[in-house]
Amino acid sequence: MSTRLAKGGRLLDKGRALNFTFNGKRLRGHPGDTLASALLANDQMLVGRSFKYHRPRGIVASGAEEPNALVGLGEGARFEPNQRATTTELFDGLTCISQNHWPSLDYDIGAVNTAFARFLPAGFYYKTFIHPRPFWKHVYEPFIRQSAGLGKAPNPGDPDRYEHFYAFCDVLVIGGGVAGLQAALAAAEAGARVMLIEQTAHWGGRAPVDGGEVGGQPTEEWIEATVAKLRDMPNVTLRLRCMGAGVYDHGYALGYERVSDHAPEADAPRHRLWRIRAGQIVTATGAIERPLSFAGNDVPGVMLASAVRDYAVNYGVSAGDRTVVVTNNDDAYRTAITLKQLGLEVPVILDARASGGGALADEARALGIRVENGKAIAKVKGSKRVEGVAICAQAGEGAVLEELKCDAIAMSGGWSPVVHLWSHCGGKLIWDSAQAHFRPDPANPPRGAKGEGFVSAAGAANGASDLAGVLTDADAAGKAAAKAVGHKPKTTAAPKGSQSVEAPMQAVWLMPQGAGIRLRMKSWLDYQNDVKVSDVQLAAREGYESVEHAKRYTTLGMATDQGKLSNINGLAILSDALNQPIPQTGTTTFRPPYTPISLSAIAGSARGEIFQPIRKTPIHDWHEDNGAHFEPVGQWRRPYCFPKGEESHRDAVNREINQTRARLGLLDASTLGKIIVKGPDAGKFLDMLYTNMMSTLKPGKCRYGLMCNENGFLVDDGVVARIDEDTFLCHTTTGGAESIHGHMEDWLQCEWWDWKVYTANVTEQYAQIAVVGPKARETLAKLTTDDLSNEALPFMGWADITLAGMPVRVYRISFSGELSYEIAVAASLGRALWDALLEAGAEHGVTPYGTEGLHVMRAEKGFIMIGDETDGTVIPQDLNMQWAISKKKDDYLGKRAQERSHMTDPNRWKLVGLETLDGSVLPDGAYATAAGHNANGQRNTQGRVTSTYFSPTLGRGIAMGLVHDGPDRIGEVIEFPKVDGGVVKTKIVDPVFYDKDGEKQNV
């Protein structure tokens, strides 16, 4: 059984106890514990069930690579699934539950799957559940969803806060172990701005567990001294609990800081996403020990040898009283020696190498530990925890030579450098056959814009194996990184670390090497996704020869741990099955993040009120206070209508229109784009931008214009006012303000850079209010002494006047067909003017109207709307707007495109009005059918609806649409099928439904 030892635990504060619960069971740990170490200290060996077969699973590792110990952490709104116990720091009051079992962790019905494992091989989804078809949806999928899967989805309403931080440095060092510390120091001493981030809460990585000396000092003391030195340097930033999550182009990297996961009561952000721009990046990310593939290697109690050692040294926790060590290298002997020195039993060390180990093996023997060379585990005894091992010869097929009782197994299949961050942005790997691992290829680093490498690996992450090698390598990496960003490194030598002389390791991908199918079906590669040696071999037999295909077919490495333990073992098995060397098989692609990061950290502070910017006009507060129903228009919120009391939106719209047409309406038109265009060439420039002639416009006058892109398609429209000889004000659509300003600058900067024109987007400088209706002039006259008569300010004129004591510019333009003035005032005075107009208009029942009223009134007048009548494929000629296209001009943007054969095709659909015979409102976007079917068997069409509304003015549905030969078919009836069946018979009419002669606006 696993338990807390009387001695040891260098990271613990044993003077204090922390209470926590696992599946409701009250347990205790100490400050410094991880959830995993605390569970082991309480003999909670079984922590979850596997994904597919629901096999009992225990803690395997001690760090980020842990595949099994995933728990549902927290409660209520703070519940979070799939949290790794090995990287969760214990805090008082922590609650967690195990995952993937029913009804309980100890007695799980789904474990029956393991008995049917033969029928759930790799790719079983694709093979088994295809027929009969309807069974997938109703039988197979619900069954699979019930039995498979890890944690439950979290509850909505995350109460915590998150944020981003933009940081910049010369050298970013990822990983705060011995290598990272030395690389950071070397770079910092050269004068570089250094940032060092470490994913755990401690500096020094695994080095203190393994002992040794640096420069004659115990490693732990050297670490302490080096951290102190770095802390004192003003050019160094140190962050603990900050994982290097990803490396991207141009020296961009993401750091994932778990600010208060370990202290949930703190009023602090929970996670902080560091968005780091670095000149050079050093990955000092260490190495991960590989499991060995033997039958029963997933039974709780089978752990990585390094993890067994970590738990003993760091947390004073023994995985068992009797621990069998099985290895193919010398490093695992350290675990046996550590355990023995702590007074625990190590019945045997099984060394798969026939020639055995080196100096460490001698040391183990000297301690009285039995060492068996050339031996292996035939199988593990026990199901919910290890009870013993059957020993066999590694060279054989698994014939049992001896059985031994034990309650834990420490395995080591060698070490794989953590090359993830090196690989994220294209760093290549080389196969090191002596160490049987992939390590970074220094000749092929991730490269920057000039072809220079911007990432280097240091220490164990670069394949260095002992303290001496790690320090030398890291020192060189730190200096090289500093040099690459223009600093001069010191010429001092790297500190001297202990050397360890070890016997060569031997690659062991299957144990025993001749294991038969019965053993291979119990030899796990990927614990989290339940992939076994036999599955990968099956994939190879079935033709999945590419490692990427085999991965997807078997799901090897596709779980939340992304195959940190399983990938190398899996591709070695695949290579063997394909009879090809491992480098030829290659690895799957390493993608960020290194371990899963919270979605909330990615969102940062963008949630709730600041999820996205909401643009507000100066009159927005009034709209809110007066019950506006808003609609989004770009990032603006514009009132759609202002319902009163229980009034429906449609009734409100009708009321607003009727009142405006009869007496007086007000519209907040502030969102309309306003761009100043000024210079001696401004007229010439606008003649190119608009289809019509703007240079002939007289100061004091306005002209409606159309803007097309180079392809001839209509992109924007609006009223242009000439302010003076050199200056124009171009009104754009609400959505077009920024894009049209950009369009103008694009042409001015890239094509007509020698034209003397300046532009400025002054959209937000003004509040703009449309005063609309027969009583408009009367109302304004109350607020000004300036002359607003038809003679003084005729239709399509503008004037600067004083209104309600405010300087304003009045444009006499109309989008409703009524007598209408659009009044622009400084935005800071917008609300004051609105209030003054409401007061002045009160006697006429002044009625603010929203965007829907605006739309209906413009449709009644047959005015087009960009985005309704246009969709990026419509040219002005389709809309019968030849009148707005100047024939006198040599050129304008879109002119030549509009002369192309397809644009002049008489068969293009053209704008008409549509009137339903029954007075109903046509469905938006409906298509008119024509006789016959097309090549795809669909009904032929002859037109479509572009705008459709109920017109309260006419008391019936009105619509505009594009129809084949439309203008020549006035009076003809066509049919629009409805979604719910039936057709609407519709007459083609003139698109101007109301006041065709403009008598209402020209008064």
The residues in 790-819 that bind another protein, with binding defined as CB under 8 A, are: 806
Residues 297 and 386: their CA atoms lie apart, in Å, by 10
Provide the mask over 413-452, with x wherever binding to another protein is found by CB under 8 A and - wherever it is not: ----------------------------------------
Provide the mask over 682-721, with x wherever binding to another protein is found by CB under 8 A and - wherever it is not: ----------------------------------------
Tokens 């200096």 map to which residue?
Answer: 479
Strand partners of residue 379: 295, 390
In the list 52, 55, 101, 272, the residue contacting another protein (rule: CB under 8 A) is 272
Q: Is 832 in the site for another protein (CB under 8 A)?
A: yes
In the list 211, 374, 396, 679, the residue contacting another protein (rule: CB under 8 A) is 679
Across 60-161, the runs of DSSP E, i.e. the strands, are 70-73, 80-84, 94-97
Sort 895 into a burial class: Cβ within 10 Å, 0-12 / 13-18 / 19+: middle
Shortest approach of another protein to residue 682 CB, angstroms?
10
Shortest approach of another protein to residue 160 CB, angstroms?
11
Residues 409 and 303: their CA atoms lie apart, in Å, by 6
Shortest approach of another protein to residue 830 CB, angstroms?
8
In the list 701, 831, 908, 969, the residue contacting another protein (rule: CB under 8 A) is 831
How many Å separate Cα 958 from the centre of its chain? 44
Based on CB atoms, which residue is closest to another protein, 680 or 998?
Answer: 680
Look at residue 225 and give its three-state secondary structure. helix
How many Å separate Cα 246 from the centre of its chain? 12
- Residue 580, CA atoms < 13 Å, CB-side half-sphere: 13
Look at residue 844 and give its three-state secondary structure. helix
Shortest approach of another protein to residue 163 CB, angstroms?
5
b/e code 177-205 from CB counts within 10 Å (16+ = b) = bbbbbbbbbbbbbbbbbbbbbbbbebbbb
Least Cα distance to 723 among 610, 819, 605, 811 occurs for 811
User: Reduced to 3 DSSP states, what percent helix, strand and coil does the chain have, rounded to the nearest 5?
Assistant: 25, 30, 45
Selected range binding another protein among 163-171, 375-383, 448-456, 786-794, rule: CB under 8 A: 163-171
- Residue 809, CA atoms < 13 Å, CB-side half-sphere: 19
Selected range binding another protein among 13-21, 789-797, 811-819, 825-833, rule: CB under 8 A: 825-833
Q: Is 275 in the site for another protein (CB under 8 A)?
A: yes
Shortest approach of another protein to residue 705 CB, angstroms?
21
The residues in 224-263 that bind another protein, with binding defined as CB under 8 A, are: 237
b/e code 633-665 from CB counts within 10 Å (16+ = b) = beebbbbbbbbeeeeeeeebbbbbbebbbbbbb
Give the length of the chain: 1003
Based on CB atoms, which residue is closest to another protein, 396 or 679?
Answer: 679
Shortest approach of another protein to residue 170 CB, angstroms?
11
Q: Is 102 in the site for another protein (CB under 8 A)?
A: no
Provide the mask over 592-621, with x wherever binding to another protein is found by CB under 8 A and - wherever it is not: ------------xxx--xx-xxxxxxx---
Sort 352 into a burial class: Cβ within 10 Å, 0-12 / 13-18 / 19+: buried
The residues in 624-643 that bind another protein, with binding defined as CB under 8 A, are: 635-636
Least Cα distance to 689 among 889, 933, 866, 504 occurs for 889
Based on CB atoms, which residue is closest to another protein, 731 or 861?
Answer: 731
Shortest approach of another protein to residue 333 CB, angstroms?
43
Shortest approach of another protein to residue 807 CB, angstroms?
9
Q: Is 680 in the site for another protein (CB under 8 A)?
A: yes
Shortest approach of another protein to residue 490 CB, angstroms?
21
Residues 4 and 308: their CA atoms lie apart, in Å, by 13
Residues 55 and 111: their CA atoms lie apart, in Å, by 6
How many Å separate Cα 741 from the centre of its chain? 30
In the list 65, 80, 158, 163, the residue contacting another protein (rule: CB under 8 A) is 163
Shortest approach of another protein to residue 993 CB, angstroms?
34
Based on CB atoms, which residue is closest to another protein, 781 or 826?
Answer: 826
In the list 107, 166, 753, 883, the residue contacting another protein (rule: CB under 8 A) is 166
Q: Is 111 in the site for another protein (CB under 8 A)?
A: no
In the list 507, 662, 676, 921, the residue contacting another protein (rule: CB under 8 A) is 676
Helices (H), 190-254: 207-210, 219-232
The residues in 756-785 that bind another protein, with binding defined as CB under 8 A, are: 756, 758-760, 762-766
In the list 829, 859, 879, 885, the residue contacting another protein (rule: CB under 8 A) is 829
Based on CB atoms, which residue is closest to another protein, 604 or 665?
Answer: 604
Residues 251 and 425: their CA atoms lie apart, in Å, by 10
Residues 652 and 850: their CA atoms lie apart, in Å, by 9
Shortest approach of another protein to residue 73 CB, angstroms?
21
Judged by CB under 8 A, how many residues of this single chain contact another protein?
Answer: 50
Q: Is 385 in the site for another protein (CB under 8 A)?
A: no
What lies within 8 Å, CB to CB, of 395 at 6+ separation is 354, 374, 512, 513, 514
Q: Is 828 in the site for another protein (CB under 8 A)?
A: yes
Where along the sequence are the contacts to another protein (CB under 8 A)? 161, 163-168, 193, 237, 266-269, 272, 275, 277, 604-606, 609-610, 612-618, 635-636, 676, 678-680, 756, 758-760, 762-766, 806, 826-829, 831-832
